[in-house]
Amino acid sequence: MTNTAPETTTAQERQSAVEHRLDVTHVDGDAYEVDIRGHRILVDQPVDAGGTDIAPTPVELFAASLATCVAFYAGRYLQRHGLPRDGLRVRSEFTMATDRPARVDSLRLVVVPPQELPTRRHAALLAVASHCTVHNTLHEPPEIRIEMES
């Protein structure tokens, strides 16, 4: 019997993974445009934070990313089981930390299932939705490097 160590991902294996790219460009004031595969999203800051409030903040998009990922997984669960997705919603509420560093302190997501979903399926739907990619990433944070192009 061979004793093998558990598999771990090396830095070289992570580098060989498919890389996704998006670009952020300054628009005006505190507004920036995000280009993702040709899809454009604006971000800004509220007026009381110095922006013009023409778009959501990056932190709001962070919460929206988690909420939409949860919704996607919930929707796929419903689709797999031949259940309607009409009326499926996810609400996200978050609070900011009051100390430093600046960060989101808590996130709460509420899955509102379609009315037709039998109560006996609620736990399964929640279990699937709770394992979306964004949620998994928050539990297993990626390596993050911020670099300067020269």
Q: Which two tokens stand for residue 91?
A: 């609400």
Strand spans (E) along the chain: 23-28, 31-36, 39-43, 89-96, 104-112
pLDDT of residue 58: 98
pLDDT of residue 9: 59
What value does the mean pLDDT take over residues 32-55? 97
Please calculate the CA angle 136-114-137 and round it to the nearest 5 degrees. Answer: 5
Cα–Cα dist 58/94, whole Å: 13
Cα–Cα dist 73/26, whole Å: 33
Banded pLDDT at 55 (limits 50, 70, 90): very high
Lowest mean pLDDT among 1-10, 28-37, 95-104: 1-10
Banded pLDDT at 88 (limits 50, 70, 90): very high
Beta strand 39-43 pairing with 31-36: antiparallel
Q: What is the pTM of this model?
A: 0.86
Banded pLDDT at 17 (limits 50, 70, 90): confident
Give 32's strand partners.
26, 43
